[in-house]
Structure 1
Amino acid sequence: MALPDTAPLLVGLLLLFHAFGAWAIVEVNMEDKVEVMAGETAQITCMFTTDEGLGGTTIQWFYVLPNKERQRIYNKEPMHEAAEQNTLFTHRISLNVNGTAAVLAIRDVGVRDNLEFICVIKTLTPEEAEGRTQLQVFKSPTFPTIEAVETGISVNEEAPSKIGSCRVKNGYPKPNITWYRNNMPLRNTPPEVVVTSSTTIESSGLFSVQSELTMKVKKEHKDAVFYCEVIYFVPGATKMTESQHINITVYYLPTEVNIWVESPKGKIKEGDTLELRCDNNGNYPSSITTIKHQNSEYSVENKTMVRTNVKRLDGGVYECTFEETDNFDEISGSTKVSVNYLESAVITPKDSIAVMEGEELKASCNALSSLQTSTTWFKNEKLVSKGNTLSVKSATLETAGMYKCVVTVPEMEGMKTSSTLQVNVKGSPQILGPDVQEVETYETTVNLTCSATGFPAPTIMWTTSDGKNLNALQTETEDGAQSVVTFKITSNVKVFCNASNDFGSKVVEFNIKTILNTTLTTITSMPTISTTTRSTTTISSDTVVHTTPTATTTTSTNTITDDTVTQNTSTNYVNDPVQTPTKSPNIKKESKGFVIAIIIIAIFLLAILGSVLYFLYKKGRICGRSGKQDFSKRKSSKDNIVVEMKSDNTEEAILLGVNGEKQQPNDQ
């Protein structure tokens, strides 16, 4: 609305300046270049001065085409401003004027924006001024990738061999690639080192660079480390990125072959498992490695040889040969193997020796060995002598026995051999233990053992004090004989062991005391106590057997058939202390002493109990008796055996004669 009013005024001022011949002064200052990373916003500043003021100033922005022509992208007049349509920057630019500074902002810059930009300042007078700035856009490349050659490289190759390739993508400006070996840069110096590079411009305008390294390989390159370094630019700086490190396989012929014993470590003995290893300082794939035993022509095509259970003949020189199959070049190495041995121990005299008592005993033990040996003698697992010779000045019966000679090799653990010698000492027998031996037992059967030493092996005989010979089992031992006798005992007795051979005899007395016999004799010496036994009787028509207990009796059962009447009593004791008492059926023959003692005590208590009961019965204290009743018993002849019987319910006593006739008590 103000524009129609001010336009004539401006035109008038212009004509006035022209009429007087006065022209305005305009100056523009710009940076030579502006650097920015791709994708960011670039800001290009145009600093200008004019003596006309800002009211009639026109600001225009251009970029230079590849053909050097200008393309306007923005126009700002005093009354109007806008970006030019249909340009590269139509929708990405804006202008900000602050006093005498006009700042052009370009958003999302790319490498295609790497152009020269021009700022033009015009006034109302024909005077104008311009400035130029080069916009530089940077893009960091990707991380470099490196690939090593997959196959090995021979040092015999005449032409340079490919080591690897390095590639970096999408950088701007173009990145540079440099190769390194062991931190030292490699320059392109044909024919030793050849570096070739190629550059690709992507559709985006970014650069991708690939570099390939080829060189003549030497043996010292087998452990070398190769990598590539990429140098690229960023605003105001230069950066570097290093690729991964690679190694190459270098094939080269050996100059030395080594063969050694891998196991066992140290000295080798017969029976060991021998392992030989072979290696060389080369690294050539087309080759054959052979290990051979020169003494036996035994060989294997391998870098390892294993031989189990080696013998002394397996010792000797082993040779390892390396043969390159392309040119049939050979190189060898060797080592000497020693297999140590220890033969079986040999004792002289062999197997056994017999010496007279008091004479000198001598024996020697030797074993052939490749190393120094040590000899020891043992008897009953005890060390008795050291050295090859076993010597006893005056042999005794204790000298006799089995001797073991052990030969070892102190230098090597596990090398050992042994042999045995039976030493016999001729002399009269000796019986182990004292001459008189006391034996106490609760048993009715006794086992006696008699061991005698002597050579020749003695004969052992057993006799009793009454001159009776006992049968016994005799066995020979290492130093004599042993005999075991088993017999029944009924009373105290003496038994003699007699050992004899060609040089004399020896007797040992066994004094056997039976504890059971003594106890029973004491019991039978006590006064006899009679008790009445409750019984059941069946009478036959022919025979009557009368059994009268002499000591305490237990309840018994009489079985009477048509022909015989028999009364069984559970326990009997013999009054005669000289005779051997009959054992109770409830006492086992081989029972232990303490069990017998308990039974005897129980019987003794039962006898006392029976006596008390009988006494009370006579006094009329039990079974309804009001007074004492005596019964007398007539003595019977040998042919007149009488059985006294009592009923459970009455006090009537019935006497039966031999012929079964009933007798009244007053007839007695």
Structure 2
Amino acid sequence: MLLHPPPASLTHTFTHTSDGPPLYRSTSMDARLSASLLAGLVFLLHGYTAWAVVEVSMEDRVEVYKGDTAQITCMFTSDEGIGGLIIQWFYVLRTGEKKNIYYQDATMQVVERNTQFTDRIMVNVTAATGEVVLTIANVQLIDQLEFICLIKSLTDGVSEGRTKLLVFEKPDFPTIEGVQTGVLADEDTLSKIGSCEVKNGFPKPNITWYRNNAPLRVSDVVSVVASTTIESSGLFSVRSELNLKVMKEDKDARFYCEVTYLVPGGTRMTETNHISITVYYPSTAVHVWVESPKGKIKEGDSIIFNCHGNGNMASSVSIKHGTTEYNVESNMLVLENVTRLQSGDYECISTDVNTFEELSGNTTVFVNYLDPVVVLPSYVEMAQGEEWTATCNALSSLQTHTAWFKDGQEVSTGHILMLTDVTFDTAGTYKCVVSVPEIDGMEKMATLQVHVKGAPEIMKPEHTDIEESVSSTVDLTCHVRGFPAPSVIWTTADGKILETTSQTEMDDSVHSIVSVEVTSDLTAFCNASNEYGADALAYKIKAKGNGVIIVVIIICILLLAILGSVLYFLYKKGKICGRSGKQDLTKEKSSKDNIVVEMKSDTEDAVLLGVNGEKLPSSNQ
């Protein structure tokens, strides 16, 4: 729909009819009024004898966000067609004065100039449904006004409706800030807890304080001070400060603000982050306890004591054990590598730095112990077949368990170890481990060294017959048991002594290695001896040929056989000189070194052949 601008200058007056509200007129609109009167005369000539009835209905409000587009609908009914109606839109100033923004009759549609709506409105009229819609683009806060739709028939039937345009703006996310310093509990005056702020909302948002999900209401122990700021944009910013009579229980309280604000069609709510405050309150009792280790304590542990009052006011703390007094830092005392002498009562004393009032608490500590293990005897030398008994004991504050181990395997339990009918297998190191089952890791140990005297005994390997290739090197090993440790010598069958490559000697065993280069069949002996006897072990080494050489020889033989067959075949065919009818002539060395003479037996003609088998002319013969 095209919008026609009004005349450049308008002087506004209002006239009253006997049966209706004031009507808007302009001295520059005489032509329009004349046209209206002419239209009225036309209706009178058509025989209308009764006043036309016009009825208008509108919603009481239209709600829209700032910056959006608003549509205000005016519904009407009339006995006359749309061409016989005058439509006007007004808005009402806060002073109550009406301002015209739009005029329409059968001949024109005019948007009033120089108003806040001049460039932002349009009007659509639908005669079939009786709707007149005023559309306002880019709604601003100043547009929150009351709008009047006035419809008048040419026969002076008139009706109007009113709608309030409400504008909304969602506020920014609210913020909360708690006090940075601590608050004393049980004070006679209220203490500041914190402040909440929400900015740029319209209409004005509302702030409610909560403590542990329960709203705080103003009372003699709760004070809420709110302030409102109207920003240059016209939006509202609200700040709220909470003051409270703080109790000790508030040390665990969570405070936050709930902000409620209006939106088109309803109300919305948002919450700030939650904050807590530091509440200071004096101690009424002191508690001291062992923080670590949990459970029973053993010698060598580090003990951590904690000493705390049930308040949090500043205080100095010390811990006494007998005549010894320890300084405590951060309510904690660490005693490292404790012994049984540190068992007993420990008293923690807390002194208020302001009132010097002392409070104390006590705890008792017992340090369990396990004395060193004693094994009797700790060293034994026995002959094979003998018996021996060893004992193992350790003094402890708790029940103990004793076990004997050899080579990582448990061989006996209890304080006594019985060794009977001993052999070389019996020899070795025995560990006696005494442990306290009630305390994990509390154990000590001692050893028993057992030697079994006897002639050397060579541990026979799995294979003593060995095949090795000629020119290779083989390592021979010899493991000998015996006590005292035997001496080991390597020899060959003809009595030659072999140089030992490496040898490891222990109290009752020797491990020897010799490296032998294989040139032919060989027998090597490991000879072991001590004061109780001797033992020997023979290694038989069989030298075998190199497989690669054998294959090469076989191939050469096959090639020679093939060559012989070829030569024989050529001989039989007469291709080789020396057979009757043919003879080889060796020409004297001359400039024709590359010429061979072949004599044919049937014609006896001589033909000269070149190196490549080509016939040469007779002039070259």
Q: Are 2:455 and 2:533, in contact at CA under 8 Å, matched by a contact in 1?
A: no
State, as a whole percentage, how many aligned pairs show the same letter: 50
Deviation string, structure 1 residues 80-120 (Cα, Å, up to 9, x no partner): 33111111111111222222432222111122111111222
Q: C-alpha separation between the residues in 2 aligned to 1:307 and 1:195?
A: 52
The residue number in structure 2 matching 1:322 is 350
Per the TM alignment, residue 373 of structure 1 is displaced from its structure 2 partner at its CA by 4.9
Per the TM alignment, residue 322 of structure 1 is displaced from its structure 2 partner at its CA by 3.0
> Is it true that 1:87 corresponds to 2:115 in the alignment?
yes
Q: C-alpha separation between the residues in 2 aligned to 1:187 and 1:25?
A: 56
The residue number in structure 1 matching 2:261 is 232
Per the TM alignment, residue 253 of structure 1 is displaced from its structure 2 partner at its CA by 3.4
> Is it true that 1:241 corresponds to 2:270 in the alignment?
yes
* 1:121 alignment partner AA: I
Q: Are 1:223 and 1:247, in contact at CA under 8 Å, matched by a contact in 2?
A: yes
Per the TM alignment, residue 175 of structure 1 is displaced from its structure 2 partner at its CA by 1.6
The residue number in structure 2 matching 1:654 is none
Q: C-alpha separation between the residues in 1 aligned to 2:84 and 2:243?
A: 68
The residue number in structure 1 matching 2:193 is 163
Gaps of 5+ in 1: 355-359, 424-429, 435-448, 454-476, 480-496, 500-507, 513-591, 595-668
Per the TM alignment, residue 267 of structure 1 is displaced from its structure 2 partner at its CA by 3.2
Output aligned runs, 1:552-631, within 5 Å. none
Task: Choose the corresponding residue for 1:136, options 166, 171, 176.
Answer: 166
* 1:205 alignment partner AA: G
Per the TM alignment, residue 54 of structure 1 is displaced from its structure 2 partner at its CA by 3.8
Q: C-alpha separation between the residues in 1 aligned to 2:162 and 2:397?
A: 102
Distance change in 2, residues 1:478/1:433 (3 Å): closer
Q: C-alpha separation between the residues in 2 aligned to 1:81 and 1:397?
A: 129
> Is it true that 1:172 corresponds to 2:202 in the alignment?
yes
Per the TM alignment, residue 313 of structure 1 is displaced from its structure 2 partner at its CA by 1.4
Gaps of 5+ in 2: 1-30, 382-386, 458-479, 485-505, 509-528, 542-621
Distance change in 2, residues 1:16/1:217 (3 Å): same
Deviation string, structure 1 residues 101-154 (Cα, Å, up to 9, x no partner): 322221111221111112223343455333222111222222222222222323
Output aligned runs, 1:626-637, within 5 Å. none
Q: C-alpha separation between the residues in 2 aligned to 1:65 and 1:288?
A: 72
Distance change in 2, residues 1:23/1:287 (3 Å): same
* 1:145 alignment partner AA: T
The residue number in structure 2 matching 1:653 is none
Per the TM alignment, residue 404 of structure 1 is displaced from its structure 2 partner at its CA by 8.5
Deviation string, structure 1 residues 243-285 (Cα, Å, up to 9, x no partner): 2222223333345544333444443333x13222314363515
The residue number in structure 2 matching 1:437 is none
The residue number in structure 1 matching 2:231 is 202
Output aligned runs, 1:333-412, within 5 Å. 333-344=361-372, 367-373=394-400, 408-411=434-437, 412=439
> Is it true that 1:274 corresponds to 2:302 in the alignment?
yes
Q: Are 1:342 and 1:417, in contact at CA under 8 Å, matched by a contact in 2?
A: no
Local SS of the residue matching 1:297 = strand
The residue number in structure 1 matching 2:318 is 290
Q: C-alpha separation between the residues in 1 aligned to 2:421 and 2:198?
A: 101
The residue number in structure 2 matching 1:583 is none
Q: C-alpha separation between the residues in 2 aligned to 1:337 and 1:255?
A: 24
* 2:359 alignment partner AA: I
Per the TM alignment, residue 203 of structure 1 is displaced from its structure 2 partner at its CA by 2.3
The residue number in structure 2 matching 1:146 is 176
Local SS of the residue matching 2:180 = coil
Q: Are 2:87 and 2:151, in contact at CA under 8 Å, matched by a contact in 1?
A: yes
* 2:86 alignment partner AA: T
User: Which structure has the larger Rg?
Assistant: 1
Output aligned runs, 1:7-86, within 5 Å. 10=38, 13=41, 23-51=51-79, 53-86=81-114
Q: Are 1:117 and 1:132, in contact at CA under 8 Å, matched by a contact in 2?
A: yes
**What is the number of equivalent residue pairs in this alignment?**
438
Q: C-alpha separation between the residues in 1 aligned to 2:535 and 2:236?
A: 123
Q: Are 1:292 and 1:300, in contact at CA under 8 Å, matched by a contact in 2?
A: no
Q: Are 2:40 and 2:154, in contact at CA under 8 Å, matched by a contact in 1?
A: no
Q: Are 2:283 and 2:313, in contact at CA under 8 Å, matched by a contact in 1?
A: no
Distance change in 2, residues 1:314/1:396 (3 Å): same
Distance change in 2, residues 1:403/1:63 (3 Å): closer
The residue number in structure 2 matching 1:115 is 145
Distance change in 2, residues 1:110/1:339 (3 Å): same
Local SS of the residue matching 1:284 = coil
Task: Choose the corresponding residue for 2:215, options 160, 164, 185.
Answer: 185
Distance change in 2, residues 1:317/1:61 (3 Å): same
Deviation string, structure 1 residues 513-552 (Cα, Å, up to 9, x no partner): xxxxxxxxxxxxxxxxxxxxxxxxxxxxxxxxxxxxxxxx
Distance change in 2, residues 1:28/1:294 (3 Å): same
Output aligned runs, 1:456-475, within 5 Å. none
The residue number in structure 1 matching 2:477 is none
Distance change in 2, residues 1:375/1:107 (3 Å): closer
Per the TM alignment, residue 165 of structure 1 is displaced from its structure 2 partner at its CA by 1.8
* 1:128 alignment partner AA: V
Distance change in 2, residues 1:262/1:15 (3 Å): closer
Distance change in 2, residues 1:432/1:25 (3 Å): closer
Q: C-alpha separation between the residues in 1 aligned to 2:507 and 2:60?
A: 121
Local SS of the residue matching 1:220 = helix
Local SS of the residue matching 1:79 = coil
Per the TM alignment, residue 301 of structure 1 is displaced from its structure 2 partner at its CA by 3.5
Query: When the two structures are superposed, what TM-score results if normalisation uses the length of structure 2?
Result: 0.58
Q: C-alpha separation between the residues in 2 aligned to 1:315 and 1:43?
A: 88
Q: C-alpha separation between the residues in 2 aligned to 1:510 and 1:9?
A: 154
Output aligned runs, 1:462-611, within 5 Å. none
Q: C-alpha separation between the residues in 2 aligned to 1:347 and 1:137?
A: 97
Distance change in 2, residues 1:335/1:14 (3 Å): same
Deviation string, structure 1 residues 193-244 (Cα, Å, up to 9, x no partner): 2222222222222222222222122232222222221212222222222222
Q: C-alpha separation between the residues in 1 aligned to 2:535 and 2:421?
A: 33
Local SS of the residue matching 2:324 = coil
Q: C-alpha separation between the residues in 1 aligned to 2:345 and 2:185?
A: 33
Q: Are 2:375 and 2:432, in contact at CA under 8 Å, matched by a contact in 1?
A: no
Local SS of the residue matching 2:107 = coil
Per the TM alignment, residue 510 of structure 1 is displaced from its structure 2 partner at its CA by 8.9
Q: C-alpha separation between the residues in 2 aligned to 1:384 and 1:510?
A: 31
Q: Are 1:201 and 1:208, in contact at CA under 8 Å, matched by a contact in 2?
A: yes
**CA RMSD between the two structures:** 5.0
The residue number in structure 1 matching 2:136 is 106
Local SS of the residue matching 1:204 = coil
Q: C-alpha separation between the residues in 1 aligned to 2:443 and 2:67?
A: 84
* 1:202 alignment partner AA: E
Q: Are 2:39 and 2:84, in contact at CA under 8 Å, matched by a contact in 1?
A: no
Query: When the two structures are superposed, what TM-score results if normalisation uses the length of structure 1?
Result: 0.54
Q: Are 2:103 and 2:110, in contact at CA under 8 Å, matched by a contact in 1?
A: yes
Per the TM alignment, residue 170 of structure 1 is displaced from its structure 2 partner at its CA by 1.8
Per the TM alignment, residue 78 of structure 1 is displaced from its structure 2 partner at its CA by 3.0
Per the TM alignment, residue 62 of structure 1 is displaced from its structure 2 partner at its CA by 1.5
